Structure 1
Amino acid sequence: MDWRSVTFDWNRARAFLVTAEEGSLSAAARALRLAQPTLGRQVEALEAELGLALFERTGRGLRLTPAGHELLEHARLMGEGARALSLAAWGQSEALEGEVAISASDAYASYLLPPILARLHRAEPRIRIEVVVSNDLSDLARREADIAVRNIRPTEPDLIARKVREAAARLYAAPGYLDGLGRPERGKGFQAAEFIEIDGQGSLMGLLNAQGLGLSEANFPYRCRNFTVMWEMVRRGMGIGILDDRIGDADPMVERAVPGFEPIAFPIWLVAHRDIARSRRLRVVFDALAEGLA
């Protein structure tokens, strides 16, 4: 490669890329943790180096010029290369010190991770853990998290995964709530029961009716897309909910609600980026999670 053909400062190209993607100098300055005047000078210096106007100054801020649009994709490729280099360098680190971000659902983050992380901290106190609570899939390639606890196997080629166990979800309710129902048997007596739906598609009713409970929408007066909140509603005797039996069976304020109910099986996967998996620090956290969740 003829390095003499590169006539601009790469750091200024980053300033251009982030400004274009964020839409304004102020937003880009926040993203890069720079002062806005400093960032503005970097963009202006790049324009001078290239001999091109990359942005038009309008009343509402900045707008890419045709030349800016044409160069933007090249700048994005540079950004992806820089991110990949940073990711690979981070993954080579052998130090058992630093931060690891773990993504997990609200239920697992609330009820299963704390004792695992406490044991990990006692063993490796220099590792700092960030818990990223999300019921959506975190983008590990973009470092939204370093390790993710998921219920589906990843398909991305740059991710590695370990299936730690096959879990089971069961129905639970507060004892007082079941007493009020007369403690019905499976397949009968649940027409008056109230259940708490956990998604927007009504999937719980379908799962339960497949096992002969004969429920209708009238049996679902509550809908909650947060497992932790749903579980608190169950514990307070507001209805019947479904959750991983490792959580439900360990809670003294609830009990299994439907005798003979066939649990819903689902897998638990630990997922990490392939490059990051070479980090000793991340391997220690990954193995601790695998052991604790298994």
Structure 2
Amino acid sequence: MQIPRVLIVAGSDSGGGAGIQADLKAVSVHGAFGMTAITALTAQNTTGVRGVFPVTPAFVALQIDTCLEDIGADAVKTGMLATAPIVEQVAERLAFHRPPWVVVDPVMLAKSGAELLDTDAVEALRERLLPIATVVTPNLPEAEALTGIEITDPEGMKEAARRLHACGSPYVVVKGGHLAGDPVDILYDGRGFTRFEGERIPSRNTHGTGCNFASAIAANLARGKGVEESVRIAKRYIDRAIRAALPLGRGHGPADPMAWLTPRPV
């Protein structure tokens, strides 16, 4: 039996709520085997990010090659990439290895507002990584930064999705949680839009939801599910993770990526 395999290319969150720590939990919950190529170390907790230490691009590349040359991957998920040289190195290695699925979560800001991607890396991400992505999952600030447009409603989300699709990614999921009211996410495949509606859950403990969402999509794609089904599963997963959020620390605590496996009432 083939074991679904997901390589996670992202930063480390010392507080455990986001980054590769969250990614590995999400991938495991959805029945896939997770590997990592760490792009940066962060010193952070629920109140904010105190420091970021990027890994050298060459060592990021070595981690990617080492995993893919031996174990292989049915999907790759990228998260925090930190610098333009890392973005370019990741794009180069993924273009070389050509995994079946590349899910790009264009992480730019931490929940606390700290910058996790250098300004000059936004262009590199748009021009080098999006053309080889198969699914890209920006939230509204990330979609605005990548497209240069202001998004104030679902129609703006659709326009951003069109522009990101034109960058090369066959599937774009624009997450609308930053808009007022109940959250709406929009999937665009170049032909039409699929709208995913949800219920806004009052909680400050939402750290790591973007990481968990993209990793859940990647894991389900690795298992052979289609994009729309993978997004729908990931939406249900995040809903439960927020409802079961962990009240840790004094700031934005983490959503619980293990909620599907634990009997705790939510």
Q: Which has the higher contact order (CA 8 A, sep 6+)?
A: 1
TM-score (ref. length: structure 2): 0.23
Between Structure 1 and Structure 2, the one with more helix by share is: 1
